[in-house]
Protein backbone atom coordinates (compact mmCIF):
# COMPACT_ATOMS: atom_id res chain seq x y z
CA UNK A 1 0.00 0.00 0.00
CA UNK A 2 1.68 3.15 -1.28
CA UNK A 3 0.82 5.59 1.50
CA UNK A 4 1.27 3.17 4.37
CA UNK A 5 4.37 3.88 6.45
CA UNK A 6 4.59 0.29 7.69
CA UNK A 7 4.35 -1.06 4.12
CA UNK A 8 7.26 1.22 3.30
CA UNK A 9 9.22 -0.37 6.17
CA UNK A 10 8.29 -3.82 4.82
CA UNK A 11 9.62 -2.74 1.41
CA UNK A 12 12.78 -1.28 3.07
CA UNK A 13 11.97 2.11 1.54
CA UNK A 14 12.34 3.79 4.92
CA UNK A 15 14.70 2.75 7.71
CA UNK A 16 13.69 0.87 10.81
CA UNK A 17 15.55 -1.13 13.42
CA UNK A 18 14.38 -4.57 12.39
CA UNK A 19 14.67 -7.23 15.09
CA UNK A 20 12.94 -10.13 13.31
CA UNK A 21 11.65 -11.00 9.86
CA UNK A 22 10.41 -14.02 7.97
CA UNK A 23 8.25 -14.58 4.90
CA UNK A 24 5.08 -13.39 6.64
CA UNK A 25 6.05 -11.12 9.51
CA UNK A 26 8.44 -8.28 10.21
CA UNK A 27 9.22 -6.69 13.59
CA UNK A 28 11.02 -3.46 14.36
CA UNK A 29 11.63 -1.09 17.26
CA UNK A 30 8.99 1.55 17.92
CA UNK A 31 10.26 5.09 17.20
CA UNK A 32 8.63 6.38 20.36
CA UNK A 33 9.10 3.59 22.91
CA UNK A 34 6.73 3.36 25.86
CA UNK A 35 8.84 0.76 27.67
CA UNK A 36 12.54 -0.23 27.79
CA UNK A 37 11.72 -2.76 25.07
CA UNK A 38 9.02 -1.73 22.60
CA UNK A 39 8.72 -3.68 19.36
CA UNK A 40 6.03 -3.56 16.67
CA UNK A 41 5.23 -6.91 15.07
CA UNK A 42 3.33 -6.65 11.79
CA UNK A 43 2.17 -8.89 8.96
CA UNK A 44 3.93 -8.08 5.69
CA UNK A 45 0.49 -8.08 4.09
CA UNK A 46 -1.33 -4.75 4.34
CA UNK A 47 -4.35 -5.17 6.60
CA UNK A 48 -5.61 -1.83 7.93
CA UNK A 49 -7.45 -2.99 11.05
CA UNK A 50 -8.52 -6.09 12.94
CA UNK A 51 -12.02 -5.76 11.45
CA UNK A 52 -10.60 -5.83 7.93
CA UNK A 53 -8.93 -9.20 8.52
CA UNK A 54 -10.26 -12.02 6.36
CA UNK A 55 -10.99 -15.44 7.91
CA UNK A 56 -8.01 -16.80 5.97
CA UNK A 57 -5.73 -14.33 7.81
CA UNK A 58 -6.14 -16.35 11.03
CA UNK A 59 -2.91 -18.31 10.49
CA UNK A 60 -1.07 -15.11 9.55
CA UNK A 61 -2.09 -13.42 12.79
CA UNK A 62 -1.05 -16.51 14.68
CA UNK A 63 2.38 -16.09 13.11
CA UNK A 64 2.45 -12.48 14.33
CA UNK A 65 1.81 -13.63 17.90
CA UNK A 66 4.31 -16.49 17.73
CA UNK A 67 6.93 -14.07 16.35
CA UNK A 68 6.26 -11.78 19.34
CA UNK A 69 6.80 -14.73 21.68
CA UNK A 70 10.13 -15.56 20.01
CA UNK A 71 11.30 -11.94 20.14
CA UNK A 72 10.32 -11.67 23.82
CA UNK A 73 12.33 -14.83 24.56
CA UNK A 74 15.29 -13.47 22.59
CA UNK A 75 15.20 -10.21 24.53
CA UNK A 76 15.09 -12.07 27.83
CA UNK A 77 11.65 -10.90 28.94
CA UNK A 78 11.49 -13.62 31.59
CA UNK A 79 9.11 -11.79 33.91
CA UNK A 80 6.39 -11.07 31.37
CA UNK A 81 5.49 -8.56 28.73
CA UNK A 82 2.48 -6.75 27.35
CA UNK A 83 0.96 -7.41 23.92
CA UNK A 84 -1.45 -4.77 22.57
CA UNK A 85 -3.42 -4.22 19.37
CA UNK A 86 -4.75 -0.66 19.24
CA UNK A 87 -7.69 -0.94 16.89
CA UNK A 88 -9.57 2.10 15.60
CA UNK A 89 -9.75 5.71 16.83
CA UNK A 90 -11.12 5.02 20.33
CA UNK A 91 -8.11 2.78 20.96
CA UNK A 92 -5.69 5.38 19.60
CA UNK A 93 -4.66 3.50 16.46
CA UNK A 94 -2.45 5.90 14.50
CA UNK A 95 -1.09 3.64 11.78
CA UNK A 96 -3.65 1.82 9.65
CA UNK A 97 -1.65 -1.38 9.19
CA UNK A 98 -2.37 -4.00 11.85
CA UNK A 99 0.48 -4.10 14.37
CA UNK A 100 1.08 -5.85 17.64
CA UNK A 101 2.89 -3.82 20.29
CA UNK A 102 5.31 -5.98 22.28
CA UNK A 103 6.46 -4.11 25.36
CA UNK A 104 8.66 -5.29 28.19
CA UNK A 105 11.36 -4.41 30.66
CA UNK A 106 9.05 -2.74 33.16
CA UNK A 107 5.85 -3.43 35.10
CA UNK A 108 2.51 -2.47 33.52
CA UNK A 109 -0.66 -1.46 35.31
CA UNK A 110 -4.18 -2.69 34.59
CA UNK A 111 -6.63 -1.53 33.37
CA UNK A 112 -4.69 0.12 30.56
CA UNK A 113 -5.33 3.86 30.19
P1 LIG B 1 -0.72 2.84 17.18
O2 LIG B 1 -1.05 4.05 17.99
O3 LIG B 1 -1.15 1.56 17.86
O4 LIG B 1 -1.21 2.94 15.76
O5 LIG B 1 0.85 2.75 17.16
C6 LIG B 1 1.63 3.20 16.12
C7 LIG B 1 3.05 3.16 16.61
O8 LIG B 1 3.91 3.26 15.50
C9 LIG B 1 3.42 4.28 17.57
O10 LIG B 1 3.84 3.70 18.80
C11 LIG B 1 4.55 5.02 16.86
O12 LIG B 1 5.55 5.45 17.74
C13 LIG B 1 5.06 3.96 15.91
N14 LIG B 1 5.68 4.44 14.68
C15 LIG B 1 5.19 5.32 13.80
N16 LIG B 1 6.03 5.47 12.76
C17 LIG B 1 7.07 4.64 13.00
C18 LIG B 1 8.27 4.33 12.30
N19 LIG B 1 8.57 4.91 11.12
N20 LIG B 1 9.12 3.42 12.85
C21 LIG B 1 8.83 2.85 14.02
N22 LIG B 1 7.72 3.09 14.73
C23 LIG B 1 6.86 3.97 14.23
How far apart (Å, rounded) are the C-alpha atoms in residues 63 and 25?
7
Q: 18-35 pLDDT, tens per residue?
A: 999 999 999 999 999 999
Distance, CA 101 to ligand 1 centroid (Å)?
9
Q: 92-104 pLDDT, tens per residue?
A: 999 999 999 999 9
CATH code where residue 76 lies: 3.30.428.10
| Tally of domains in the chain | 1
Q: Is residue 109 part of a domain?
A: no
pLDDT at residue number 1 = 83
Q: What value, to the nearest 5°, has the Cα angle with vertex 52 and ends 48 and 54? A: 125
Q: Is residue 14 part of a domain?
A: yes
Question: Count of CB atoms within 10 A of residue 86's CB?
Answer: 18
Distance, CA 28 to ligand 1 centroid (Å)?
10
Phi, psi dihedrals of residue 83, rounded to the nearest 5°: -115, 130
Q: Which domain holds residue 61?
A: 5-104
Calculate the average pLDDT of the chain: 97
Q: Which of the listed residues 27, 94, 98, 99 should we mutate to test ligand 1's pocket, taking the one with most ligand atoms within 8 A of CB?
A: 94
Q: Is residue 39 part of a domain?
A: yes
Residues with CB under 6 A from ligand 1: 5, 16, 28, 30-32, 40, 86, 92-95
Q: 34-62 pLDDT, tens per residue?
A: 999 999 999 999 999 999 999 999 999 99
Q: How large is the average pLDDT for residues 61-83?
A: 98
Q: Is residue 27 part of a domain?
A: yes
How far apart (Å, rounded) are the C-alpha atoms in residues 78 and 53?
31
The HSE-up count of residue 69 (CA atoms within 13 Å, CB side) is 6
How far apart (Å, rounded) are the C-alpha atoms in residues 12 and 77?
28
113 band by pLDDT with thresholds 50, 70 and 90: confident
pLDDT at residue number 8 = 98
Q: Is residue 110 part of a domain?
A: no
Residues with catalytic roles: 99
Amino acid sequence: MENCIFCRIVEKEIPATIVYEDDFVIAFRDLNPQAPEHILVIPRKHVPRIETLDPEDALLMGKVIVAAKRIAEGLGMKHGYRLVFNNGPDAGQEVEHVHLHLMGGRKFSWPAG
